[in-house]
Structure 1
């Protein structure tokens, strides 16, 4: 555990008061700890377990964080496919809601209520890219969740953003996130809609200069990448303006970057590959080509 605690200490120092992944066992970088993930939402630590671990490990982690003066509470979440998600506060006060910071922007977090806290930390580099690219652009944010990409786009000077997600609860938190950052909500739309049933409303809001696609990798009844990613990509020509840029994200370790690249070539060949965003240092992966992938394409016609 010495190496693991040294790593966590380094990540805490790098994070300061901004949210960050402190330990990413699922990347296989620390053999034997693949089921363990630890996130920092200052001043709270969220430990996630995707499989059973010895109770001694949990006790050790709780003692480690209890000894850190900046940590005010630790919550343990049990989760994983086929497992009922549960939360247990290991120590401290666990607020129902807190506001965390990332790259100077603010987001509402629920550390101990739902399966997901409200911000996916593995897309920090994607949000940073969107912020850098968004100036003057009409932005479409598909699978918007709590609108993290939208917040980044507005902070980067986007002319407008349309957020689309099936979850109206998530979009409500997204609206709150924009308010936390002082954004003009007249420029931001929140569309609680199943895009696979109809694209008309989305198309009428375009054409868009920048499109973000960040779906769940596997969520039966909502999105299964092997079947549904192609359905989204096929719509890009009718949704975008000439020269439009697309950030296509995919986090399924069963696929490497060729999965999305091949689909783009198959159904919207006018979009050309531009770049794969550099992986984040707080998400080390022994097979980086199988880790989180954020890919940039641009319309060339």
Structure 2
């Protein structure tokens, strides 16, 4: 096995528990930049001390993933099986909970191998491949899943790397096909999920704890849910006794998907109780300010980057100004819940910006709680691994 040498700062990162290697981490990057996807390499420092094994898997955030610090480990179907068994064991509480039937089963580098994630949808599997290097070993993953102690009825996949014209990005792989939709339980909440149809399935499992918080706090509150997608937060608020929810998203699909989720939770679908607005979030905020419309709870979970006909939004550069308006349309005594999944927007910087937004809004706000990733999303020490940051502010006046 050929050794490739990494720079001192990269060596220190690997020793600290990081898994992601960038091309510029290598001493002679030209020597490895054309390495084939899925190639297994040994890495060492300048003094030729072994540092680990990695697999080449190019994706937006990196070049290769460290999977072992032991030179004797063999990259094999058996190694995948061991990592998968550990992941299943780590999630036994979820598997044994009859009120929750969907969660993250394997969280890439946090569970030992980067470049993919695996989600559990009530005995159906959704695999997300983030690099062709990870996808090269698809058969090992499929075989291990079907041979595991869990009862897998069918498997779907989404390829999130560059494809050629002959490749299909989203498809059913093997086993039974799921009903469309399949209803996923999350405590007493129900969500309609569509596997094999779109880049997103209808629910983001990483926000489970935040949805539970919303449900526990929403009694008697008017709730505004921005960038609402399928209305998952609105469902939580409605089941928690909100006086009214308003879901706002620019995508036309959100209307029917949100209405469907309201219906399967026995929540009213008329505008007096659960309003759905298909319009640009920023236009809705302008409307709320113009008409002095405010809310007891404001929830904002924007994409890291978004472009509409009138606006361009980047979380790192634009969230502060957005949050100023969000605080202003939150009633005194209300809650403002601000979320970002931008991996490069650190929690420290996010808190700093949101505190500044509170000051500039003229409101007296206090950070009372924060959320990160739930237990089924273990992370590595890579800064990009713990990507989710959710801040809950109390608006005193």
1:205–1:113 Cα change, 3 Å: farther
230-239 or 61-70, larger mean C-alpha shift: 61-70
- Structure 2 gaps of 5+ residues are 1-79
Counterpart in 2 of 1:185? 269
**Alpha-carbon distance, 1:110 to partner:** 1.0
Aligned residue for 2:294? 207
2:298, 2:336 within 8 Å by CA — same for their partners in 1? yes
Contact persistence 2:128–2:160 (CA under 8 A): yes
Say if 1:11 and 1:20, in contact at 8 Å, map to a contact too: no
Distance, in Å, in 2 between the alignment partners of 1:198 and 1:275 is: 27
Q: Tell me how far apart the structure 1 counterparts of residues 292 and 231 of structure 2 sit (CA, whole Å).
A: 17
1:37-92 superposed Cα distances (whole Å, 9 cap, x missing partner): 00011121000011113566311221222235632100111015x66871232211
Unaligned runs of 5+ in 1: none
Partners of 1:2 and 1:44 in 2: CA distance = 18
Q: Matched residues in 2 for 1:241 and 1:55: separation?
A: 49
1:77 maps to which residue? 158
State the shift of 1:247 in Å: 1.3
> Separation in 2 of the partners of 1:131 and 1:196?
25
- 8 Å Cα contact 1:264-1:271 kept in structure 2: no
- Greater mean deviation of Cα atoms: 16-25 or 218-227: 218-227
Q: Tell me, what secondary structure is at the counterpart of 2:281?
A: coil
* Conserved? CA contact 1:24–1:36, under 8 Å: yes
What is the 5 A alignment of 1:1-301? 1-10=80-89, 13-16=92-95, 18-25=101-108, 28-31=109-112, 33-53=113-133, 57-67=137-147, 70-80=151-161, 86-95=169-178, 96-186=180-270, 187-203=273-289, 204=291, 206-221=293-308, 223-269=313-359, 270-277=364-371, 279-287=373-381, 290-301=386-397
State whether residues 7 and 23 of structure 1, in contact with CA within 8 Å, keep that contact through their aligned partners in structure 2: no
Aligned residue pairs, count? 297
Q: Distance in 2 between matches of 1:177 and 1:193?
A: 19
1:108-146 deviations in Å (ceiling 9; x for gaps)? 111101111110111001101101111111111011010
Q: Report the CA distance between 1:93 and its aligned residue.
A: 2.4
2:225 and 2:232 map into 1 onto residues whose CA distance is 9
Helix, strand or coil at the partner of 1:283: coil
SS in 1 for 2:282: coil
Q: List per-residue Cα deviations over 1:221-263 (Å, max 9, x = no partner).
A: 4632123312321212431110111111111111222232222
CA apart distance, 1:273: 1.3
User: Residue 180 and residue 239 in structure 1: after superposition, are their counterparts in 2 closer, same or farther (change >3 A)?
Assistant: same
Rate the CA distance shift 1:197–1:83 in 2: closer, same or farther, 3 A. Answer: farther
Q: Aligned equivalents of 1:36 and 1:227: distance in 2?
A: 29
The answer (yes or no) to whether the contact 1:45–1:75 under 8 Å persists in 2 is yes
Using the size of structure 1 for normalisation, the TM-score is 0.90
Secondary structure, in 3 states, of the residue corresponding to 1:215? coil
Partner SS, residue 211 of structure 2: helix
Check conservation: 1:127, 1:152, Cα contact below 8 A: yes
Change beyond 3 A, Cα 1:264–1:83: farther
Structure ID, larger Rg = 2
**CA displacement at 1:2 relative to structure 2:** 3.8
SS of alignment partner, residue 29 of structure 1: helix
- TM-score, normalization by structure 2: 0.69
Q: Is the 8 A contact 2:84 2:106 kept in 1?
A: no
Shift in CA distance, 61/205, structure 1 to aligned 2, threshold 3 Å: farther
